[in-house]
């Protein structure tokens, strides 16, 4: 491969990783780009998990052998079997050298280092491959893992120039991984409430839109629990905002624990003293049971005055739900009703008969609904 071709391959690899929208896409782009750049038939990207002492395969691409999967659940190897991933760090790199790539063949080491890794040689033979080039990946100044590219038996083996090029590709992969980490952290912050660590309103809106689409298409049950912490203003005014923040954090923990009763449920803080649980799949009764547990545990927090919970589920008699907005209005109206009545249990939209006041409140024009909400609240306001 000429210089221009190598440069084009490097650019393609970098662009492929930059276009990735998730870690998995980034890993696939890294391994696939390196495989094409080096003329391989198979490539893998692995991470060194120091705390577990193992090299774990993140992705396999190309011609997979029996037992290999693109994204394996747990394909890992004790790091002592592939000690070179640690040796270059302590011996070569610490002495001022670079983490150079090397080549192994089914007959033993070809170029780049002395001796051979018997486990790699055995793996090449077992999987019908003739050679591989292995390039350590360094990220944030530490050995992160390795890039592995192989060719089948019967074709020319990798040479010194290929090993040098693999070293360059590993550096490009490291830069791409760093970018992916930064983007995922930015996405995490964008969809996470900073105080409680729960999801935020933006995350709920996105998940609920997807859930309602699934409900319209497949009939899946979608349920929403909206919670309003009682007495937060009093706590802030009398005990201080630090105690109020602690109340929010502790209730966030309660909501997360109760949400775990519903597989896949999303626990979120909508803002201020309002929280919610979004469940997709569990029955309405299961969701009400979890909401009841939220109410019970909120009282046991010791600060604040418990919580008002409203539930709306597509499985209950609330009429067609064609939009996320309507389900939110129903759960919100149920929560207002619970707050006005100082209910110690969840109020569930649609369960008070044909003329359910919660459903009527949610479906009235906004002005009338706002007045009704004020009447609900004013009836028992502290």
Note the pLDDT of residue 376.
36
Using the CB atoms, write b or e for 337-359: b if 16+ within 10 Å.
bbbbeebeebbbbbbbeeebbbb
Note the pLDDT of residue 191.
86
Tokens of 305: 């005055």
Q: How confident is the model at residue 111 (pLDDT cuts 50, 70, 90)?
A: low
Query: End-to-end distance of the chain based on CA atoms, in angstroms?
Result: 79
| Contact of 124 with 96, CB cutoff 8 Å | no
Task: Please say if the pLDDT value at position 40 is more than 70.
Answer: yes
Q: What's the Rg (C-alpha) of the chain?
A: 29
Quick one: average pLDDT of 230-252? 90
Report the DSSP beta bridge partners of residue 54. 49, 78
Residue in 249, 267, 262 with CA at minimum distance from that of residue 204: 267
Using the CB atoms, write b or e for 211-233: b if 16+ within 10 Å.
bbeebeeeeebbbbbbbbbbbbe
Give the sign of the dihedral formed by CA 243, CA 256, CA 21, CA 55.
Answer: positive
Q: Tell me whether residue 251 is exposed, middle or buried, using C-beta atoms within 10 angstroms of its C-beta: 0 to 12, 13 to 18, 19 or more.
A: buried
| Mean residue pLDDT across the chain | 86
DSSP string covering 297-364, please? HHHTTSSS--EEEEEEETTSSS----SHHHHHHHHHHHHHHHHHTT-SS-EETT-S-TT-HHHHHHHS
What H or E segment, with its residue span, contains residue 275? Answer: strand 274-280
Top mean pLDDT of 94-98, 225-229, 375-379 is at 225-229
Residue written as token pair 């009282």? 299
pLDDT digits (tens, 9 = 90+) for 281-290: 999 999 999 9
Note the pLDDT of residue 86.
59
Lowest-confidence region among 92-101, 180-189, 247-256, 316-325: 92-101
Note the pLDDT of residue 112.
53
Task: Please say if the pLDDT value at position 363 is more than 60.
Answer: yes
Report the DSSP beta bridge partners of residue 337. none
Task: Please say if the pLDDT value at position 224 is more than 80.
Answer: yes
Top mean pLDDT of 50-54, 279-283, 373-377 is at 279-283
**What is the Cα–Cα distance from 11 to 280, expressed in whole angstroms?**
42
Residue in 199, 195, 192, 300 with CA at minimum distance from that of residue 246: 195
| Contact of 378 with 365, CB cutoff 8 Å | no
Quick one: average pLDDT of 288-304? 91
Q: Listing from the earlier edge strand, what are the strands of the sheet with 142-152?
A: 76-78, 54-62, 42-49, 142-152, 129-139, 102-105, 108-111
Q: At what angle do helices 160-190 and 3-18 cross, to 10 degrees?
A: 20
Helices marked H in 99-139:
118-126
**What is the Cα–Cα distance from 155 to 60, expressed in whole angstroms?**
21
Note the pLDDT of residue 114.
45
């Amino acid at each position: 491969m000429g210089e221009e071709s190598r440069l084009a391959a490097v650019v393609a690899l970098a662009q492929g990783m930059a276009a990735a929208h998730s870690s998995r896409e980034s890993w696939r782009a890294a391994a696939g780009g390196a495989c094409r750049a080096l003329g391989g038939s198979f490539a893998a990207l692995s991470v060194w998990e120091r705390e577990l002492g193992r090299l774990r395969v993140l992705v396999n691409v190309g011609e997979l052998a029996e037992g290999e999967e693109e994204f394996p659940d747990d394909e890992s190897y004790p790091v002592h079997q592939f000690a070179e991933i640690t040796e270059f760090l302590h011996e070569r790199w610490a002495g001022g050298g670079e983490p150079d790539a090397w080549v192994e063949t089914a007959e033993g080491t070809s170029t780049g280092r002395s001796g051979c890794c018997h486990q790699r040689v055995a793996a090449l033979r077992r999987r019908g491959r003739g050679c591989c080039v292995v390039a350590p990946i360094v990220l944030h100044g530490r050995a992160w893992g390795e890039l592995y590219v192989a060719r089948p038996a019967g074709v020319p083996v990798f040479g010194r120039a290929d090993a040098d090029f693999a070293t360059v590709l590993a550096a490009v992969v490291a830069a791409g991984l760093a970018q992916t980490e930064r983007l995922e952290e930015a996405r995490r912050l964008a969809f996470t409430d900073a105080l409680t660590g729960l999801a935020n309103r933006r995350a709920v809106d996105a998940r609920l839109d997807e859930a309602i689409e699934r409900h319209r298409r497949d009939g899946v049950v979608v349920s929403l629990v909206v919670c309003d912490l009682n007495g937060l203003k009093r706590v802030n005014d009398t005990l201080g905002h630090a105690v109020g923040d602690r109340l929010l954090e502790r209730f966030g923990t309660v909501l997360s624990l109760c949400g775990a009763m519903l597989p896949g449920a999303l626990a979120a803080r909508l803002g201020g003293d309002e929280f919610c649980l979004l469940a997709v799949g569990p029955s309405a009764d299961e969701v009400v049971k979890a909401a009841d547990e939220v109410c019970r545990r909120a009282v046991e927090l010791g600060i604040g005055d418990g919580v008002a919970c409203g539930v709306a589920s597509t499985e209950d008699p609330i009429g067609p739900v064609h939009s996320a907005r309507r389900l939110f209005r129903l759960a919100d109206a149920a929560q207002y009703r619970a707050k006005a009545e100082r209910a110690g249990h969840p109020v569930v939209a649609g369960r008070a008969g044909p003329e359910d006041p919660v459903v009527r409140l949610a479906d009235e024009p906004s002005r009338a609904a706002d007045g009704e909400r004020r009447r609900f609240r004013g009836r028992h306001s502290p």
